[in-house]
């Protein structure tokens, strides 16, 4: 396949710089992706020319800002194939989206003795809110185990579902392992027992075509900065039939119809969950990121990223003393590894001196590290703007680490 990698890289100004005198090799995309110039331009234009609050003004600038803000909601609705724009709630990101569900749906549905099911590979943001909820309610957190390849044990998942299960919360793509979970099948199993499902989609949306109606997710959480958009913004998808039954998450301006000292009436969906002045520039930039991404051929992107992952996996596997963490049959562009005799943080520091940006640590997945009996891993994660030459640089970096420590 001829993928227009060199043309696309020109769209991302951050990629064209030197780090410690060497060309930047950015392989930390699971943490955050870089932004194309079109997204940067839209954000700059908002602050330079359109800066105004949304929904509340009748003057020209406010109308412009509101139009761009709501246009982004429509883009996101189409991007994930939601049934209505009412099902797209702007938040500060996937973490905020999950907390919104825990603080509304969770508070309403989970009682003493009930159970919430999560998986062994969850990011802390899809563990801690449910753990805290269960502690408050006297409920129980149940965990779907995984094997050493980093795949969920589906037979064990089926056994966990019972009449006390009030919600299943599962990651679509693991940020620490790259595993793609069979969320459509997991949702079907839960729905057969009347159990709703929340999916953490933060790592999935830039690699996999997401259709929330096809997978039948009840909730789906996304961060903009994982898909070439700004930090500090994202959205929660929720089925309108569920969201319409939930109380507000936060209280303040723009989420009300009327206020008296005796009673407050709240806005309809989606605004009842969007109190206060939102991250307007971020949302508009998010819309621009989706516009940029949708102009690409998703199938070509997925194939190219798979080729990068396969090339890197094969090359790392051939190096003595390198251990791969997470070898699921179905995974996307995340490669976690250890180098014998070197702590992951030392690996990251040496790589950085070579201009190579990888992530080291527990990746907000300490239970995953415990499963593998390690304190941390080094993680290289790819996007469509990475190249085979950058994988070559990564492999040279690994040999540099081995040279220093052996």
Q: How far is CA 15 from the centre of its chain?
A: 22
Domain that holds residue 274: 40-294
pLDDT recorded at residue 1: 60
Domain co-membership, 274 together with 186: yes
Quick one: tokens of 341?
Answer: 């005799």
Average pLDDT over residues 121-136: 98
Domain final position from 231, 260, 294: 294
**Residue 239 included in any domain:** yes
DSSP letter string, 215-283 = HT-SEEEEEGGGGTS-TT-EEEEE-HHHHTTSPPSS-STTSEEEE-SS-EEE--TTGGG--SS--HHHH
Phi, psi of 380 (to 5 degrees): -105, 130
Q: What is the pLDDT of residues 45-93, one digit of tens each?
A: 999 999 999 998 889 999 999 999 999 999 999 999 999 999 999 999 9
Distance CA 90, CA 405 (A): 47
**Residue 405 included in any domain:** no
Residue 92: CB atoms within 10 A of its CB come to 19
Domain co-membership, 159 together with 237: yes
Distance CA 222, CA 95 (A): 8
Where are any strands of DSSP class E within 27-178? 88-91, 115-119, 140-144, 165-171
Instruction: Tell me what percent of the residues of the chain surpass a pLDDT of 70.
Output: 100
Domain final position from 262, 294, 326: 294
Average pLDDT over residues 14-41: 98
**Residue 32 included in any domain:** no
Domain co-membership, 230 together with 327: no
Provide the CATH number for the domain around residue 47.
3.40.640.10
Quick one: tokens of 91?
Answer: 């938040």
Phi, psi of 76 (to 5 degrees): -70, -35
Position 406 pLDDT exceeds 90: no
In 318-363, alpha helices (H): 344-353
Domain co-membership, 184 together with 51: yes
Distance CA 40, CA 90 (A): 20
The domain total for the chain is 2
Domain co-membership, 64 together with 156: yes
Distance CA 168, CA 143 (A): 10
232 CB-near residues (< 8 Å, 6+ apart): 92, 93, 225, 279, 282
Q: How far is CA 394 from the centre of its chain?
A: 24
**Residue 121 included in any domain:** yes
Average pLDDT over residues 111-123: 98
pLDDT recorded at residue 328: 98
**Residue 395 included in any domain:** yes
Cβ pair 80, 237 in contact under 8 A: yes
3-state secondary structure of 93: coil
Provide the CATH number for the domain around residue 379.
3.90.1150.10
Our CA angle for 168, 169, 171, nearest 5°, is: 135
Domain co-membership, 51 together with 74: yes
Domain co-membership, 211 together with 330: no
Q: How far is CA 358 from CA 334, 363, 379, in A?
A: 11, 11, 6
**Residue 232 included in any domain:** yes
Cβ pair 303, 369 in contact under 8 A: no
Domain co-membership, 231 together with 343: no
Instruction: Tell me what percent of the residues of the chain surpass a pLDDT of 90.
Output: 98
Cβ pair 351, 342 in contact under 8 A: no
Distance CA 195, CA 347 (A): 43
pLDDT recorded at residue 2: 80
Domain co-membership, 322 together with 236: no
pLDDT recorded at residue 57: 83
Q: How far is CA 20 from the centre of its chain?
A: 30
Position 397 pLDDT exceeds 80: yes
pLDDT recorded at residue 404: 94
Q: What is the pLDDT of residues 339-384, one digit of tens each?
A: 999 999 999 999 999 999 999 999 999 999 999 999 999 999 999 9
Domain co-membership, 290 together with 309: no
Distance CA 379, CA 175 (A): 9
**Residue 35 included in any domain:** no
Domain co-membership, 171 together with 261: yes
Q: Active-site positions?
A: 364
Range of lowest pLDDT (55-64, 208-217, 230-239, 318-327): 55-64
Domain final position from 294, 326, 355: 294
Domain co-membership, 132 together with 247: yes
Residue 302: CB atoms within 10 A of its CB come to 16
Cβ pair 94, 200 in contact under 8 A: yes
Position 271 pLDDT exceeds 80: yes
pTM of model > 0.85: yes
Our CA angle for 364, 222, 5, nearest 5°, is: 90
3-state secondary structure of 28: strand
**Residue 34 included in any domain:** no
Cβ pair 287, 227 in contact under 8 A: no
DSSP 104: I
pLDDT recorded at residue 217: 98
């Amino acid at each position: 396949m001829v993928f227009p990698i060199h043309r696309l890289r020109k769209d991302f100004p951050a990629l064209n710089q030197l780090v410690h005198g060497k060309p930047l090799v950015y392989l930390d995309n699971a943490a955050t992706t870089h932004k194309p110039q079109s997204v940067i331009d839209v954000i700059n234009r908002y602050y330079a020319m359109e800066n105004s609050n949304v929904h509340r003004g009748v003057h020209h600038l406010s109308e412009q800002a509101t139009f761009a803000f709501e246009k982004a909601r429509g883009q996101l609705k189409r991007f994930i194939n939601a049934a209505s724009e009412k099902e797209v709630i702007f938040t500060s990101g996937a973490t905020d989206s999950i907390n919104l569900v825990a603080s509304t749906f969770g508070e309403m549905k989970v009682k003493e003795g009930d159970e919430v099911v999560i998986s062994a590979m969850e990011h802390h943001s899809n563990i801690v809110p449910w753990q805290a909820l269960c502690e408050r309610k006297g409920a129980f957190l149940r965990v779907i185990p995984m094997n050493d390849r980093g795949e969920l044990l589906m037979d064990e998942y089926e056994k966990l579902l019972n009449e006390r299960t009030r919600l299943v919360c599962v990651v679509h793509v693991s940020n620490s392992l790259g595993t793609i979970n069979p969320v459509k099948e997991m949702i079907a199993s839960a729905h057969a027992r009347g159990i709703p499902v929340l999916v953490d989609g933060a790592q999935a949306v830039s690699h996999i075509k997401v259709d929330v109606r096809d997978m039948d997710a009840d909730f789906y959480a996304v961060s903009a900065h994982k898909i070439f958009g700004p930090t500090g913004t994202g959205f929660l998808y929720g089925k309108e039939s569920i969201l319409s039954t939930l109380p507000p998450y936060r209280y303040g301006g723009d989420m009300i119809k009327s206020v008296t000292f005796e009673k407050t009436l709240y806005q309809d969906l989606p605004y009842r969950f969007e109190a206060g002045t939102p991250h307007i520039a971020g949302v508009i930039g998010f819309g621009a990121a989706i516009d940029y991404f949708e102009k690409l051929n998703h199938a070509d992107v997925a194939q190219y990223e798979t080729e990068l992952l396969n090339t890197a996996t094969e090359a790392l596997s051939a190096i003595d003393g390198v251990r791969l963490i997470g070898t699921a049959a179905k995974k996307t562009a995340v490669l976690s590894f250890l180098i014998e005799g070197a702590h992951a943080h030392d690996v990251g520091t040496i790589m950085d001196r070579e201009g190579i940006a990888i992530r080291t640590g527990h990746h907000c997945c300490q239970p995953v590290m415990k499963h593998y009996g390690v304190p941390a891993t080094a993680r290289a994660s790819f996007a469509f703007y990475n190249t085979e030459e950058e994988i070559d640089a990564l492999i040279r970096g690994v040999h540099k680490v081995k040279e220093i420590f052996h």
